[in-house]
């Protein structure tokens, strides 16, 4: 395992990601939806990874859902950064992280490909997330 870190610009939202393939290329998806396109959302996940996300100031956490309402983008209300996104499926929390928020990860490791999930049936979308998103997720909201 290799621990990768990331955060929004001001550090209010941050994460540690235990990545199961140390040193290997990191595959990422540049999401083609209008929200992610406008925010440069480029996400990675690995079903055997472990995510520990931290919210330093709950007053600065903004959550955003759109479309099917099944994904929740965690947005910093101070700097606008979006380090991670979660999806609750059958009572279990899954997540992806935005590679544009990595700290000290060589960009040459990133293998970015476009993705477009428009028209994907809701059940297929949730099954894909349960299969390929990070399944070991903890989001800690610190008390101000």
Residues 44-103 pLDDT 10s: 999 999 999 999 999 999 999 998 999 999 999 999 999 999 999 999 999 999 999 999
* pLDDT over 80 at 121, yes or no: yes
Domains of the chain, start order:
2-141 (2.170.150.70)
Average pLDDT, the chain: 95
Collect all residues with Cβ–Cβ distance below 8 Å to 28 and sequence separation of at least 6. 42, 43, 44, 99, 110, 111, 112, 113
Would you state the pLDDT for residue 116? Answer: 82
For residue 86, CA distances in Å to 63, 126, 139, 144 come to: 10, 12, 10, 23
C-alpha to C-alpha distances, 125 to 15, 73, 133, 142, nearest whole angstrom:
25, 16, 11, 31
Report d(CA 7, CA 39) in Å as an integer: 15
**Per-residue pLDDT, 67:** 87
């Amino acid at each position: 395992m290799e621990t990768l870190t990331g955060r929004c610009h001001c550090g209010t939202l941050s994460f540690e990601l235990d990545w199961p393939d140390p040193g290997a290329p990191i595959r990422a998806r540049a999401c083609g939806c209008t929200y992610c396109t406008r925010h440069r959302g480029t996400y990675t996940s690995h079903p055997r990874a472990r995510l520990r996300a931290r919210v330093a100031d709950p007053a600065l956490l903004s959550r955003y859902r759109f479309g099917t309402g099944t994904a929740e983008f965690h947005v910093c209300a101070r700097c606008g950064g979006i380090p991670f996104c979660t999806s609750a499926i059958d009572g279990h929390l899954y997540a992806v992280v935005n590679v544009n928020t990595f700290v000290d990860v060589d960009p040459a490791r990133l293998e970015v490909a476009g993705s477009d999930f428009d028209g994907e049936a809701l059940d297929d979308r949730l099954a894909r997330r349960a299969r390929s998103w990070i399944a070991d997720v903890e989001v800690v909201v610190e008390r101000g």
